[in-house]
Chains A and B, each alone.
Chain A
Amino acid sequence: MSEAPPTTPPTEAAPVHEGTATPRPTMSRKSVGASQRTAPDRFTPPEPPALEVRDLSVYYGKKMALSGVSMQIPVKKITALIGPSGCGKSTLLRSLNRMNDLIPGARITGAVDYHGHNLYGNSVDPVEVRRRIGMVFQKPNPFPKSIFENVAFGARVNGYKGDYNELVERSLRQAALWDEVKDDLKKSGLALSGGQQQRLCIARALAVEPEIILMDEPCSALDPIATLKIEELMRQLARDYTIVIVTHNMQQAARVSDYTGFFLAGEAAYGQLIEYGPTEEIFTTPMDPRTEDYITGRFG
């Protein structure tokens, strides 16, 4: 029971079916339209990539935090990054919009391609990268300003010339917060509940019209109902945006994401992508025994 499941397909492992010439039909995962992964960490989503991570390694000073990650982040889907703490999930997320640049000593090798260009190329402006690829953090961090100004802030910084009322309303609606705050836009963002603050931060990220939204454990400071609201919101946003979410909550990854990548920092102490695939496969029939052990709680 505690062993890894046999990897040999049953048709091969089985003794020959005595007295029958016809092969035994097997209803395999493949026959129900699931992906055909050849190796746990080799998976190409069917959708076009919004981001293509190529052999990415990240160092903090001399210490390697993440080693040789290659994965395609599909467009307008939710990709979840899971794994025990310290395996490099946040490190990977931060390197998807050059937030790592802000950490002294952080250094990367490899590439992250976005619309055919390496985000780490010489001519790339990291500020523009962070506008197109927004980030929502673990702890809601509204500014000590009005709800309106919180949403308008990023657009102001970018010199937005359009109608601010319209922009703020649209962003708050997209973040499923409008109905709750529309009569109170002058109220401080800090006066909102935790879940509302997080949706305000999402509205703020949306107001600069990004393509991709990165979320680092966006619900870990929220109660279950607020968490479910954010998850529902993520599903709605995935119609228009590409979302990458780091979560330590496996149920959340299972509920909300389309694809899941599992990371582990083994004895080598640097994080690696162990397995990547469609979420329903990762959580029902993972290929790598380490993924299996982690998601069934046999880990550590």
Chain B
Amino acid sequence: MPREQFHRQIEALMDSVLEMGSMVDHAVDRAIQALLDRDPVMAQAVVRDDAALNAKNFECQNDCVHLLAQQAPMARDLRLIVSVTAIMTDLERMGDHAEGIARIVLMMQDEPLVKPLIDIPIMAGHARDMSRNAVQAFVDQDINAAFLVGSADDVVDRLYDQIYQDLIQVMIGDPSTIEPSTHLLWVAHNLERIADRATNIAERTVYSATGNLPQMDVSSY
């Protein structure tokens, strides 16, 4: 194959997406763990480590720009590189949402929980699955796997609805819980956004593989 060097560079981009994906997954995991353990030290760490995600994103975007300039890619290669830039932006924003959750944990300090944390960890598990599966689908250029990510977003949306309704009830029952309830609502909202970004990645996967850009899920939030 005449362009082996170029195709190795494209493989390296895929490695960057995988690496960024696992950094984001780790950030979400630790943010939720910090919430469950009420651990400000871990929350601080998540906030601090977001800089690494920003740096990784910038580095990878730069690699994409260089490849576009130097290799003038075509067809599938062109769609793939353009998709990598979009996906890195999505992943970077997912990292911001993890950081957002960590900041909420810091804000909550020792305030008592208004309800046991059951649905939020479940929602976090779904959002993380979606993110991991979306990144894997992209790296594998697997459109069927990508569409499965799109359908999984419904589950996250329903969980978010559920949490929202529960917290409204809690707040109506006892207005003194408004502030701590709002904190949990924000956490859930951040998770919902993470799942939406995972859906974006899945859409980009289909675009990269086929040239068509599907609209997988129009989130109601």
Residue in A closest to B213 when the chains form the complex, CB atoms: A27
Whether A1 lies near B206 (C-beta < 8 A) is: no
Q: A268 — which chain B residues lie within 8 A by C-beta? A: none
Bound complex: CA A295 to CA B11 (Å): 18
Q: What's the dominant secondary structure at chain A's contact region?
A: loop
Given contacts A286-B75, A300-B2, contact A14 B147 (CB under 8 A): yes
Contact B214 A250 (CB under 8 A): no
Would you give the 0/1 interface string for A221-265, flagging 1 where the beta carbon is closer than 8 Å to chain B?
Answer: 000000000000000000000000000001100100000000000
Contact flag A15-B148 (CB < 8 Å), given A24-B214, A26-B215, A285-B211: yes
A159 at the interface (CB under 8 A from B): no
Beta-carbon contacts under 8 Å, A65-112 to B: none
Query: Would you call A251 and B141 a contact (CB within 8 A)?
Result: no
In the bound complex, CA of A13 to CA of B210 (Å): 11
Question: Closest approach, in angstroms, between the C-beta of B6 and any C-beta of chain A?
Answer: 7
Distance of A254 Cα from B14 Cα, bound (Å): 26
Hey, which chain A residues are within 8 Å of B141, CB to CB? Answer: 1, 3, 5
Q: How many A-B residue pairs have CB under 8 A?
A: 94
Q: Assuming A1-B141, A296-B77, is B151 touching A6 (CB within 8 A)?
A: no
Docked-complex contact A15 and B212, CB < 8 angstroms = no
- B7: chain A residues at CB < 8 Å are 298
Interface size class of B (residues with CB under 8 A): 20 to 34
Chain B stretch 18-43: residues in CB contact (< 8 A) with chain A: none
Q: B214 CB to closest chain A CB, in angstroms?
A: 5
Q: Does B78 belong to the interface (CB within 8 Å)?
A: yes
- Across-interface contacts of A15 in B (CB, < 8 A): 144, 147-148, 151
Docked pose: A5 CA to B74 CA in angstroms: 14
Q: How far is the CB of B95 from chain A (nearest CB, A)?
A: 26
CB-based contact B210/A6 at 8 Å:
yes
- For B73, the chain A residues whose CB sits under 8 A away are 296
A7 and chain B: residue at smallest CB distance = B210
Nearest Cβ distance between residue A166 and chain B, in whole angstroms? 42
> Provided the pairs A18-B151, A296-B3, A300-B2 are in contact, do residues A10 and B75 lie with their beta carbons within 8 angstroms?
no
Question: Which 9 pairs across A and B sit closest by C-beta, in order of nearness?
Answer: A285-B211, A297-B3, A14-B147, A295-B74, A27-B213, A28-B212, A26-B214, A25-B215, A296-B77
